Structures are given as structure tokens and as C-alpha cells.
A and B are shown apart, each in its own frame.
Chain A
Amino acid sequence: MESNDERLAIREVRLGATRAEGGTREVSYAIGGERDLPFSGKRPERLLVALEICDDPQFWPPVVRDYVGDLANDTAEWARAAERTYGADLVRLNFTSTKQRGFDAFGAIAATTEEVLAATARPLIVEGSNEPELDSEVFRRSGEAGEGERLLLGTAEADRYRSVAAAALAYGHAVIAQSPIDVNLAKQLNILLRETGVPQDRIVIDPYTGALGYGFEYTYSVMERIRLAALAGDADLAMPMISAPTDTLSIREVREAAPADREAMAVAWEFYTAYAAVVAGASIVCVRHPLTVARLKTALEG
């Protein structure tokens, strides 16, 4: 099945920039490049596990807050621990502070981005506000603060892709293109981004990950279809995929578990969802519970 035809391969996307590449990261990652189904043919350099952190823990799952304790109140320390203590390959920074009513602390966005970049030597994923009115400013500030570091900025959606695209183009970052669990919508968004001028080797597809038991099977099949389309030569779907089972920790099974079982349930649920996403073709999986990071690292190396 493996082919040497460049047109039948997943495009390579580089994340993070080392000093030699004009940034300050210790490593940079090339994701993509596969020419076959997941786990078949030439294996990717590595499958990446990102730990998600945020700048305002009131919007974060209690089961994670309980585990990380005070770290949650110091975004930079949290980022440092993600890399050093929990072994994450990258950090995904969520600006949950923008969910506060009447948010306008844009200065803090830039400052937090800089602090987190200083605290970790790994490449960084930055998640915007999900609010169209705030997004362009959030992306401008964090994009500017991370200029040269080849951040992965998220997320572009069909209704609002121009502001992320603009920041990515202005400061040299890559973009997460998220569509609601549909292979056609994924492709449509990639076309829109392309027609806005975002180069195809700076797009990572997020097919949106439904939690296990809550629609995950749709995500799984959409990911398989995206990979198959790419291998069949569809350039508009030949991008690496990122999967973030973010809904997982707020499902009933976790919320309503007995306190003693909650952590095990949270980790099992995140682990199964993320691992299945890798089997479906994800190059990066993002999880929120630190224990899941370690388990995924072991499983993916084994």
C-alpha cells in the first residue's frame, strides 16, 4: 500500500523552532509525512502527547484541579511541570480567562504566552477565546508574543477563520482547523484557509473529538476517512490530525463517579479516547489529566 508518490503522502508540518530555526525551543517536531494507514508502512518520527493547561482554572475540570493542586494557579509552573514532571511532548495553553464576562485583559495574553514559552522548552499550542469578538485580538497578542516560535494556533472554524489565519500568516505560526465531525466540513475549511493564503503545510486538522460513549465513533470514522482521502491523493485533506478529547472529563461517568474512583475513571476514559484517536490517525493527542500523559507515552512507545 505504501507509495513513493509525494502526492499520496500526508504533508509534513513543523511545530516549534529551535535556536537554529530562529526560535528558542530545545526541540521542534515534524508531524505528518505518513504514506500509509496508521501503524503501517513508514512510522512517523513520533506520536506526540500534549498536556492541556489554562490561565484561569475556574473553567477547568475539577478532577484535574484536584490532582495538580496549586499548580493550577501558576500557569508557567504548570507548563514547566507538564514537560518536566509529567513528560508531555508539548503544552497546549488554553486562554480560559477570556471566558470571564467583559474580558479585556489583552495585555495578560501576551505576558502569559511569554511566561509559558520561558517555562517550557517544548513547542507550544495556543488556544484562543472561541469568541469571534475577542479572537482577533487574542491571536494577535499571543501570536506576536510567540513570533518565531512556530506556535500551533487554534482554532479556526468555518464561521471564524480569518483572524487565526491572519495571526498565523503575520507571525509565522501554524493553524488548527476544527470542523464538527464531518469529513466534508473538514475539507471545506481547509479550502477556505488555503484560499485565504494559509500554506497547506501550516494546517493541522482537528476533526473534533467526541468523548467515548458520546459520539466518539463518529470522530473515529471521520478520522479514518480523512486519512484514506489523503492517501488517495486529496491534497485538501492531506494534513496531520490533532485530537483533543476535551469533553471526556466532563461526562457523567466521570462527574458522577464515587470520589475514590473518579481519577481512575477520568484517566481510563481519556486514555481510551486518545489512544483510539491515534489508531485512527492522530499525530498529536491532547489530554488534561497528567496521569494520562504518562500512560499514553508508554503505550505509544510500546
Chain B
Amino acid sequence: MPTVTFLPGYRKVTVPEGTTLLDAARAAGLSMNVVCGGQGKCGKCLVFIKEGTVTFDREKYRRFFSNDEIARGACLACQATVVGDIQVNVPAESLIQEQKILVEVPGLEGIPFNPAVRKYEVRLEPPSLDDTTPDLTRVLEGIELQGGPPPTSIYAPLDVLCYLPLVLRRSGWHATATVALAPVGYRLSSVDEGNTTGRLYGAAVDLGTTTVVVYLWSLVDGRILATASNYNRQISCGEDILSRVNFSRKSGLSRLQQLAAESINEALTTAADAAGIDREEIFEVMIAGNTVMTHLFLGIDPAYMIAEPYIPVVRRMLSTGAGQSGIAAHKNAEVYTFPAVSNFIGGDIIADILATGMAEREEPTLMVDIGTNFEAVLGNSDWMLSCAGAAGPALEGGEVLFGMRANPGAIERARIDAETLAPTCSTINGARPRGICGSGLIDLLAELFRACVIDRTGRINLEIGHPRVRKGQYYPEFVVVWKKETSLGKDIVITENDIRNLIMSKAAIHGACMTLLDAAGLMPGDIGRVCFAGAFGNYLNKENAITIGLIPEISLERVENIGNGAITGANIALLDRKRRKELDAIARKITYIELNAEPSFMDRYTSSCFLPHTDFTLFPHVQQTLEACRARQGVRSWQA
């Protein structure tokens, strides 16, 4: 059998002829970046053949390679198959990089600890002819004596009854009962020998379209134990939501359900291993996902959600047993899924709302969750309005020439000296730059605007006459990092087209925010706070976000970044059963506005396709700062 050697690490593996390089790499322990799931569609698993040959139709995938890359023997690992011994060069970009994930999630400190599942250590009198109380009653009475719920309110599943007599007798009538709050009453989830009260765990899960994040908690004392994340393995069935639904329609629903559970289990296992706990002692799992993800995870047909009139099967909070939903926890663990408002406003957004605490406040909060799609919610304890739309992937680094997700090497912050036009960039993990992520793009857009490199429509002024401002191959561009300072071997630029895409993304979001405000009859000044959730993690420069007009202008101290609100919300619902109970009520309270049916949206969108906005009076502070900037540069007065 041929031997494949992966460089630069010299990892060797022997595989049968006809194996794809992707499978060979997996066998060698390398995690290749296969966004499309190995279908030759994303071009991310680029490798170079150093020695030897493979079977690969280079012409078919020509569009993924530059001439230079072709010359170096480029091919896609997922499509190339092994014919003999070879050496393969794997560039760092083709490997999955650890996503930047926050363990310090803001807002977690203050969560009241009031879990819905508890353990009771019971020491029972053995039965006798004088005391013929059945085993179950004996345990339940013991629970009540320990301050637990009354026996009549506790339901005992059959499987517990089957092993109950053995456990009680083997343990000498000293056992620990796990009791969980069920939708109605309580459930006796488990009875174990001896005292296990120190080991009771729960998991909060953000089931995203692209990634799955798991937080593992001790439900004994409310400590966080570990976190883990990985890609949602459904990606192999389609990158975005729509293609997953289409896959499901072609009788792929059970496969998607299985992949969702596997993705969660993988992260759960990683976290449990890291924390050194047994997954069998996880008794509660709280899952926040968008409506389609939730449907798919539960094995419910999502097909009716993607075509008019866009109807989900269910929107209330659901609970199933872990055994039933395939989650690798105790088989009687309760697995909860967040309620939804509509197909567009799902459990992830309800979780965001929980994370912001907006449903408990009187002042209105505007919450914006930004990804490829965006969702916005405006409201307070009394009312809530929501809408959703497509922002385009620009703010996540998509559709931008050097855009990338928030992985190591991504430029996440940038400044540009207005005099010299020299940028100062910092990257995630301090690695050599290889692309720009969402927060870096927002910084660059704001800084280019302040430095008068672009006009208010985002067009680059080529008359500036500076080596960083140049015509570019297809579009005018600005050089952010010179070739020699990158890890790519080419200049990192931002093009006029990138800027245009960014402006279109920010305009969709701002337009949606203004539509909500208008529907409620509020002005930007009436908003108590703006909360960001999603794509930017914790690194968004709030001032720059306002400078480019991503959100309505309000004072900076009223802008909060809640990061991954879905996981924060899931954490809160896991730890505090009181707020979990409010979720359905919040979801029912939300009024959904269909932007496409809202005639003013088109108008607001167009007026937002300008920096920061066509109506400068909506951005008085930005106007002042820009005037000051321009005056400093001796540019003709801003307001002629």
C-alpha cells in the first residue's frame, strides 16, 4: 500500500490506493478545512503535491487556483486520490484552526444559581414485615424528608423501577436520587448507590449552523467546568440553512438529525474529558439553535419553513430524553430546546434576549445578532418587535477578497494614520496576518473613511497618489499589509468591491434597526441600549461600528457587546429555572415584522448605503468627529 507523507510535519500514513488525500490526512491525524464537507465546492482543502502523483482533474477545479499555485502542484485534498507513494505539502490555511472562543463570557457572573435538577442522598430503613412500604415509595419519602418535592408529584420512569430494588439492596439502603423538574411535576431520573451528590452536571449548547459550542457546568455549585466547540457536521450536507433543508427534503432528515446529535456529542465529550467527568452524570442539556437547526435536531420536518407562508411545526420549548434524542448524557437526562418566534427568529435569538436581560427592563433595548443573516429585536418588559434579513457574509469575512473568520492570523483591529496612511493592525493570537475578520473590516472601513481615502459611497479616491492606494486588477484597492509582513506571500488588500459589500451589509442591518424603531414610533435617542450578539465575538470597536453607520448613533457607553448570546442564554436557562420558565412567554410576546412586506425598508436600506448615512442629522456625533478629522488634514471643510 502507498505511503503518504504530509509536510511540513512529516506525518506518515499508509493507505489503500484510491483513498482521497482528505481521508489520508484524517488518518494521519490532520484536521483539514472542509467547509463543503469534501465535495470539491469550497476549495479550502488546498494542498500541494511535492513528490509523486495523484489522480486529480485539475481543469475541473481550475477556478480555485492561481497560476502560481498550479505551478506548485495544487490540488484539492478531497478530490485527489492516492496512486503511489507521495509527499504532500499542507499549507496552514488548509487546516482547521482553533476558533477564538471566549471562556470569560460577560454576564455569567450574575446568573442566579437555581437549577432544575437536584440530587438527594437518602438513607432508608430497610423494609420489614412491619414496614411493607414498596421500594419506590420508600425512596420518594426519603426524598421528601431531605426537603425534596412530595412523593405524589414525582414520576418514576420504568427503567428506574427495573433497577431500583437491586440498587437499594446492594447499597444497603444508602443511595442518591436524582430528581428533575419536568414540564409537569418532577421526574425521578436516576437512583444510584451511595452518595453521588457531588457529581451532578449540566450542559449548555449553542447549536449553530456552522459551529457547535458546549459549556459544561457543575449543577451542584454552579461552577463552569469546561468548554468545547467544533464544526457542525451537517456542513457535509450543505453549507447554509437552505441547502440543509433541501437535503432533508431528499429523505435526508434522519441523517441530519444524527449529524446534529453527533456534533453536540463530540463537543460534549471533549468538554467532559477536559473536565474529567463522566458524561453519564450529565442530567440536563439546554440547546439554543435557530428554528431550522432545532427542527433538524429533533427530527421534525423543516420543509414547510422555507417556502411561503414559512410555517414551523413547533415553536414552544420542548424537552425530550437524552436517550430519545441521541445525546451522549445520562439516558434520562432532560434535553431542552429553546422556543422560537418564527422560522426566522429562532431559539438562538430567544437566548440572545435572555442574555441581554431586555425582557426584564423598562427602557427599550435594541439587540442585533449579526451573522450571514441578521436578526434584530427591539423592546422591553412590555413589548417586543423583531425582524430578520440577509446581511450577506461580508461582516463575517465572506465575499471579501481577504476576508476570513475570526481565526488565528486574522486582522481583528486596525488603525490608519491619517497623515501617512500607514495602518497598524493586530491579529488574533498575534500570528502573521493572513486575512481580515469582521471586526477588522469594520475598523478599516471607518479608518479609510476618516482618512478620506474613500468617499461617502465607499469609492476609493485614486487621485490620492499614495503607494497603498492603487488601481488593482479588477477594482481600486488599499494595501493593508505588504506581502513581506504576511503569512500568505501576497499583499493583503481591501478593494472597492469589498467596501461596497460591507456597506451593503451594514445598510441592511441599519435599515432593519430603523424599521423597528419606526414601527414602535421611537427615535434612536429613545433606545436605552444597543446589544450586539454574534459574529464579532468580543472585539468589535463600538465607535467604528457607529462611524460607518452599522447601528443607529447612541452614546458609546450604551452599546454593549454580548458576544455569543446564544450560549450565554443557554447557560442562563440551564442554571436558573425561573428564567427558563419565562422563555415561552417571551417568545409569544414578540411581534415579527416581515421586512420584505415593509415598504419603507427599501428606502431605509438605500439611505443607509452611504457613510455613515444619507441623513447626517441621524449621526450628529459622527459628523462632528469627521469634521474635526478633515479640518486636521486641511481638507476643505466638510460642510461647505
| Chains A and B touch (C-beta atoms under 8 A apart) | yes
A 179-194 to B, binary, CB cutoff 8 A, 1 in contact else 0: 0001111011001101
B614:A187 contact, CB within 8 angstroms: yes
Q: Please choose the segment from A100-108, A195-203, A288-296 that sits at the chain B interface, where 4 or more of its residues have CB less than 8 A away.
A: A195-203
A184:B607 contact, CB within 8 angstroms: yes
B457: Cβ under 8 A from any A Cβ? yes
Check A197/B640 contact, CB under 8 A, given A184-B614, A188-B614. yes
CA distance A200 to B615 in the complex (A): 17
* Residue of B with least CB distance to A229: B615
A158:B606 contact, CB within 8 angstroms: no
Residues of A within 8 A of B636 (CB): 195, 197
Residues of B within 8 A of A183 (CB): 603
Q: Which of B455, B456, B609, B640 contacts A200 (CB 8 A)?
A: B640
Smallest CB-CB A-B distances: 5 pairs:
A184-B607, A184-B606, A184-B614, A194-B640, A188-B610
Nearest Cβ on chain B to A161's Cβ, whole angstroms = 10
Within 8 A of A (CB), among B438-472: 455-457
A184:B638 contact, CB within 8 angstroms: no
Q: Which of A182, A197, A199, A200 contacts B606 (CB 8 A)?
A: A182
* Residue of A with least CB distance to B636: A197
CA distance A142 to B325 in the complex (A): 77
Residues of B within 8 A of A187 (CB): 607, 614-615
Interface residues of A (CB under 8 A from B): 158, 182-185, 187-188, 191-192, 194-195, 197, 199-200
Residues of A within 8 A of B609 (CB): 184, 188
CA distance A216 to B606 in the complex (A): 20
Check A195/B603 contact, CB under 8 A, given A188-B456, A188-B457. no
A195:B640 contact, CB within 8 angstroms: yes
Q: Which of B456, B603, B640 contacts A184 (CB 8 A)?
A: B603
Interface residues of B (CB under 8 A from A): 455-457, 603, 606-607, 609-610, 614-615, 636, 638, 640
* Residue of A with least CB distance to B604: A184
Residues of A within 8 A of B610 (CB): 184, 188, 191
CA distance A36 to B477 in the complex (A): 45
27 sample A-B contacts, Cβ–Cβ < 8 Å, listed by A number: A158-B457, A183-B603, A184-B603, A184-B606, A184-B609, A184-B610, A184-B614, A185-B606, A187-B607, A187-B615, A188-B456, A188-B457, A188-B609, A188-B610, A191-B610, A191-B614, A192-B455, A192-B456, A192-B457, A194-B640, A195-B455, A195-B456, A195-B636, A195-B638, A195-B640, A197-B640, A199-B640
CA distance A199 to B636 in the complex (A): 13
Residues of B within 8 A of A192 (CB): 455-457
CA distance A158 to B610 in the complex (A): 11
Nearest Cβ on chain B to A248's Cβ, whole angstroms = 26
Nearest Cβ on chain A to B465's Cβ, whole angstroms = 15
Residues of B within 8 A of A194 (CB): 640
CA distance A61 to B638 in the complex (A): 44
B456:A191 contact, CB within 8 angstroms: yes
* Residue of B with least CB distance to A187: B614
Residues of A within 8 A of B455 (CB): 192, 195
Residues of A within 8 A of B607 (CB): 184, 187
CA distance A195 to B606 in the complex (A): 20
* Residue of B with least CB distance to A234: B615
Residues of A within 8 A of B606 (CB): 182, 184-185
CA distance A200 to B640 in the complex (A): 9
Residues of B within 8 A of A195 (CB): 455-456, 636, 638, 640
* Residue of B with least CB distance to A191: B456
Nearest Cβ on chain B to A93's Cβ, whole angstroms = 29
Residues of B within 8 A of A184 (CB): 603, 606-607, 609-610, 614
CA distance A187 to B455 in the complex (A): 14
* Residue of B with least CB distance to A183: B603
CA distance A158 to B458 in the complex (A): 11
Residues of B within 8 A of A188 (CB): 456-457, 609-610, 614
* Residue of A with least CB distance to B605: A184
Nearest Cβ on chain A to B214's Cβ, whole angstroms = 45
Residues of A within 8 A of B457 (CB): 158, 188, 192
Residues of B within 8 A of A185 (CB): 606
CA distance A5 to B614 in the complex (A): 24
Residues of A within 8 A of B615 (CB): 187
Nearest Cβ on chain B to A220's Cβ, whole angstroms = 16
Nearest Cβ on chain A to B512's Cβ, whole angstroms = 16
* Residue of A with least CB distance to B637: A195
Nearest Cβ on chain B to A194's Cβ, whole angstroms = 5
Given contacts A185-B606, A191-B610, A194-B640, 19 further A-B contacts (CB under 8 A): A158-B457, A182-B606, A184-B603, A184-B607, A187-B607, A187-B614, A187-B615, A188-B456, A188-B457, A188-B609, A188-B610, A191-B456, A191-B614, A192-B456, A192-B457, A195-B455, A195-B456, A195-B638, A197-B640
CA distance A152 to B457 in the complex (A): 25
CA distance A182 to B604 in the complex (A): 11
* Residue of B with least CB distance to A197: B636
Residues of A within 8 A of B614 (CB): 184, 187-188, 191
* Residue of B with least CB distance to A190: B614
CA distance A175 to B456 in the complex (A): 20
Residues of B within 8 A of A200 (CB): 640
Counting chain B CB atoms within 10 Å of each CB, the highest count among A183, A184, A185, A187 belongs to A184
Residues of A within 8 A of B456 (CB): 188, 191-192, 195
CA distance A182 to B638 in the complex (A): 24
Nearest Cβ on chain B to A265's Cβ, whole angstroms = 33
CA distance A199 to B640 in the complex (A): 8
